[in-house]
Structure 1
């Protein structure tokens, strides 16, 4: 019982933070001078040295370890770690057991939980961004669908006499104009490409002023696509130059917004890379406010010019392969004007992709946050 009392007293002092003090040393001396067997005494001496000087243990950790020694003494069993062979010290064994008896550092679990929590919060940002982009694509889809529906209704409306209208109609309105072409003032915008008999061919959009006889009224007419030879060969141009008064049914159009890499127009040199209505009208001798109309055909897919010019070339006809003996100029079709480079169905696919990515990312974020909260 004496040994047990000394061990319990030493445990209490170590728990109170008195490790290494005089009182703890006295208790340790009392323990080691009690009547133990040689093997037990060697083990206890090693344990005493380990627990009173080890910097790896707190006072609570040392006390918890000495509780084990006290219990062993009460049962008259060798101390844990006893059984050194050939006089080998049990110090390393005592240190291992001491480390096992000590509570795990609280900082380790907190650090792990903190990393999980921050990982989850970090994943919330891309998940929210993907959700926003999906919503944005959905709104773009609705806007594009409304735009197409409005354009379709404008093109199906009754044509208006443009020269008699009190104010200029909206873009894509059907209009009629009557007058005479001023072929000498024609301008070529391009180059634009299209497929001719399965082969890509360079050409231009032909812009010709149309003046109303006996008045100062005039419009700029986009008559359609012509081969590149028309720009230099007057004989070829003459084939497509109607004389006298003509009556046209066309669509009111605005100019083009060129992409960043499309060159600027050079009116002085007669080089036109995109449609700028005011500049083209001025070059043709028309007032700057002269409207632009575009001749169209109801033949499906006769000419496709989708959107503003691209970086590599000013886009022209793609899709339909006209006959070799077709007469020029070749106008666009109503079907072509109902096409965008990104259609509503494309916006829907983009939205679904973003929302799927958002759901997956947010699921990972929620899982990481929950793990971090549980670990705290």
Structure 2
């Protein structure tokens, strides 16, 4: 009896687990069997576990297909990013072309202005209101230099016979001559040119000596105001009379200029300590005790005395030169375009094997 039941149970289990051609299983209801022929539930559990495994495999395949699609979509954006450096370098090369055209116009404008006949400043008020109409125009002005209020801009290097020497640009106010119709009617700042460092040091020593002498002359005045005042006035008048013949007028031929535009690496000016690193015309005018709208003129006189070579005026050709000339912009254009072509070619070469495998 037990062996007969065991054989029937094996037949039912085998029937329940027999696969169909489509991969499904036979489903036999337990109601068609008599209670004594029921089999344990573990045979149905086996078939149910097989269905779950098949469903899990299908879900894994679907998720794998979705992740592959997302990866392919992301790779398209990655391919576009490979061409970004080429586009940027191409834009920089095009920008250099426009920069070159602007630089050519600026230098041509300066050259045409410098070829015009020089103007005389004695008949016009030199102020910054007419700076736009006078900039890069040659002018002639007559007056007297006030060396005691000179400003030194620098340090600025100068190459002489292959030897570089540090120095400064000296800016001195040119004062009007009373009663002279040919002189300027109001003060003008003149960039007289380059001077060595020793020139600036000597000027500071002279100014310090003047301050000491003026302070020593002021002490007797405080001690006995009535008696010493007359003596001081007579001494001052005598000094002015002695120095009057030594004062000589000068005629400056120069070019009207504006303030410099310093780079981010140039330190800020410090008027309180006398440190000037770039030309700021309004600030220099105020430091010299002049109005803010005072004009600045760069001396371009080429007649330099061999016995007194300093200051060295600026070369007029330096006014039609720039730190970056049009030819430099052209070289930069070729460089950027070449770099753009190179990185774009590398991007195509990087993508070609992927397209071939597909």
Q: Report the TM-score, using the length of structure 1 for normalisation.
A: 0.59
- Work out the CA distance in 1 between the residues paired with 2:85 and 2:274: 50
**Structure 1, 356-365 or 152-161: larger mean CA deviation:** 356-365
Aligned-pair Cα RMSD in Å: 4.0
- Work out the CA distance in 2 between the residues paired with 1:225 and 1:264: 21
Q: 1:356 corresponds to which residue?
A: 338
Alpha carbons of 1:106 and 1:371: their partners in 2 closer, same or farther (altered >3 Å)?
farther
SS of structure 2 residue aligned to 1:232: helix
Q: 2:191 corresponds to which residue?
A: 222
- Work out the CA distance in 1 between the residues paired with 2:68 and 2:204: 88
Q: CA deviation at 1:259?
A: 2.7
Q: Which has the higher contact order (CA 8 A, sep 6+)?
A: 2
Q: 2:85 corresponds to which residue?
A: 126
More helix per residue: 1 or 2? Answer: 2
- Work out the CA distance in 2 between the residues paired with 1:160 and 1:324: 28
Candidates 333, 336, 340, aligned match of 2:315: 333
- Work out the CA distance in 2 between the residues paired with 1:195 and 1:295: 19
Q: 1:68 corresponds to which residue?
A: none
- Whether 1:253 and 2:257 are equivalent positions in the alignment is yes
- Work out the CA distance in 2 between the residues paired with 1:163 and 1:326: 28
- Whether 1:285 and 2:289 are equivalent positions in the alignment is yes
CA-to-aligned-CA distance 1:44-64 (integer Å, 9 cap, x gap):
xxxxxxxx9x97xx89xxxxx
- Work out the CA distance in 1 between the residues paired with 2:111 and 2:91: 30
Alpha carbons of 1:271 and 1:347: their partners in 2 closer, same or farther (altered >3 Å)?
same
CA-to-aligned-CA distance 1:55-97 (integer Å, 9 cap, x gap):
7xx89xxxxxxxxxxxxxxxxxxxxxxxxxxxxxxxxxxxxxx
Q: 1:39 corresponds to which residue?
A: none
Structure 2 unaligned segments of length 5 or more: list them: 1-18, 28-50, 59-63, 179-183, 207-245
SS of structure 2 residue aligned to 1:213: coil
Q: 1:146 corresponds to which residue?
A: 105
Contact persistence 2:252–2:301 (CA under 8 A): no
Alpha carbons of 1:113 and 1:261: their partners in 2 closer, same or farther (altered >3 Å)?
closer
Q: 1:184 corresponds to which residue?
A: 148
Q: Report the TM-score, using the length of structure 2 for normalisation.
A: 0.61
Consecutive aligned runs of 4 or more in structure 1 exceeding 4 Å deviation: 105-116, 234-237, 323-326, 363-376
Q: How many equivalent pairs are there?
A: 265
Contact persistence 2:269–2:278 (CA under 8 A): yes
Candidates 22, 26, 34, aligned match of 1:13: 22
- Work out the CA distance in 1 between the residues paired with 2:164 and 2:343: 45
